[in-house]
């Protein structure tokens, strides 16, 4: 798939064949071993990300380990997940593990399942990956702003017998409300948004970037894991001449099917796993469009 520049409200991606470049992925993947592995460190702190195309500079964000999204945690079903969350922000925070079964004390909901993590403190999250699927992590402390400023990452639990594909990619979709000066607008939680379906941004990214290109090989079969990290935006993705097949929704396997009218609809916090065969000819291009 080739992602050409301009992630706008409508045109999003361009797709082509017979290329060998690295797919868009801004964060390192972390593979957790067994129960004896050292915990993965996730430090919430301020940082910067290239949320606007060149030649504009970077934007101040909040991030895990300095990247948006945070490190992609990838484990096998049955593995023990151990994550040490450190709070480098100027306010309390937590980490919630979205969609996956956890013990109540590990669910990351402040004042309900745990006390918020104070500034300068840490908290050890530890639970077994009972279910395979596509999940993600983010704060539940003032989540509309903490997530809206960039605190999130993917959690992928591989099946014990995974489906056969040539590549397994994760795209975290997000939108950002940017000011004319290129900063994230700080009008979180305003009444206008509350009365109009939530906060919708004016800049869309994939894995924290304005994508330049993602390349695939003709005939390649790809498992594409979509995660919508935006506050309120619903995406309706039209893959053009390609025929994406839905194989999982919100981390749960479903009977493989082509989405209605061929449009992949993904609302806030949802996950959709697709299998896509790259049926085009070498050097073909195709635009994936957000029709909503």
Q: What is the pLDDT of residue 21?
A: 32
Asked if 203 contacts 178 with a C-beta cutoff of 8 angstroms, the reply is yes
CA 226 to chain centre: 7
User: pLDDT tens digit string along 217-272?
Assistant: 889 999 999 999 999 999 999 998 899 999 999 999 999 999 988 999 999 999 99
CA distance linking residue 210 with residue 63, whole number of Å: 17
**What Cα–Cα distance (Å) separates residue 163 from each residue in 79, 157, 182, 247, 261?**
19, 13, 42, 10, 25
Rounded distance between C-alpha atoms, residue 180 and residue 185, angstroms: 9
Cα-based angle 256, 278, 131 (whole degrees, multiple of 5):
40
Predicted local distance difference test score (pLDDT) of residue 283: 82
CA-CA-CA-CA dihedral for 83, 87, 89, 92, to nearest 10: 110
Kindly give the parts of the chain with pLDDT less than 70: 1-36, 211-212
pLDDT attached to residue 18: 35
pLDDT of residue 32: 60
CB burial of residue 292 (10 Å; 0-12, 13-18, 19+): middle
Sign of the Cα torsion 15, 16, 18, 20 reads negative
Type and span of the H or E element at 73: strand 72-76
Which tokens go with 257?
A: 């099917």
Which of 26, 13, 57 lies closest to 212 in space, CA to CA? 13
- Sign, CA dihedral 147-143-155-288, equals negative
DSSP H helical segments within 117-234, as ranges? 143-148, 191-195
Q: What is the pLDDT of residue 215?
A: 83
* Residue 151 token pair: 């605190």
Q: How far apart are CA 158 and CA 79, in angstroms?
A: 10
> Which pLDDT value is given to residue 26?
40
Return the DSSP state at 104.
Answer: G
Q: What is the pLDDT of residue 24?
A: 43
pLDDT of residue 36: 55
Asked whether the beta carbons of 158 and 75 are under 8 A apart, the reply is: yes
> What domains sit in the chain, N to C, each tagged with a CATH number?
11-24+166-290 (2.60.40.420), 29-158 (2.60.40.420)
């Amino acid at each position: 798939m080739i992602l050409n520049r301009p992630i706008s409200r409508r045109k999003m991606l361009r797709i082509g064949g017979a290329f060998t470049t690295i797919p868009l992925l801004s964060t390192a993947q972390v593979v957790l071993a067994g129960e004896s592995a050292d915990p993965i460190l996730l430090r919430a702190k301020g940082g910067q990300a290239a949320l606007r195309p060149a030649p504009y500079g970077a934007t101040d964000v909040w991030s895990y380990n300095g990247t948006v999204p945070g490190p992609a945690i990838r484990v096998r079903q049955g593995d023990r997940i151990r994550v040490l969350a450190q709070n480098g922000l100027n306010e309390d925070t937590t980490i919630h593990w979205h969609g996956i079964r956890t013990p109540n004390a590990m669910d990351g909901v402040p004042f309900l399942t745990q006390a918020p993590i104070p500034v300068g403190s840490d908290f050890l999250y530890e639970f077994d990956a009972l279910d395979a699927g596509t999940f993600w992590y983010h704060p539940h402390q003032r989540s509309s702003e903490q997530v809206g400023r960039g605190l999130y990452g993917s959690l992928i639990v591989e099946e014990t017998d995974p489906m056969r594909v040539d590549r397994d990619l994760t795209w975290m979709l997000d939108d950002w409300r940017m000011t004319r000066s290129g900063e994230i607008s700080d009008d979180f939680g305003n009444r206008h948004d509350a009365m109009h379906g939530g906060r919708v941004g004016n800049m869309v990214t994939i894995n924290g970037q304005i994508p330049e290109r993602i390349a695939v090989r003709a005939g390649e079969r790809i498992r594409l894991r979509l995660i919508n990290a935006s506050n309120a935006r619903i995406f309706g993705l039209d893959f053009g001449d390609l025929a994406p097949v839905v194989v999982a929704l919100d981390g749960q396997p479903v009977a493989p099917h082509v989405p209605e009218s061929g449009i992949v609809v993904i609302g806030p916090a949802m996950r959709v796993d697709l299998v896509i065969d790259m049926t085009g000819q070498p050097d073909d291009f195709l635009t994936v469009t957000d029709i909503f």
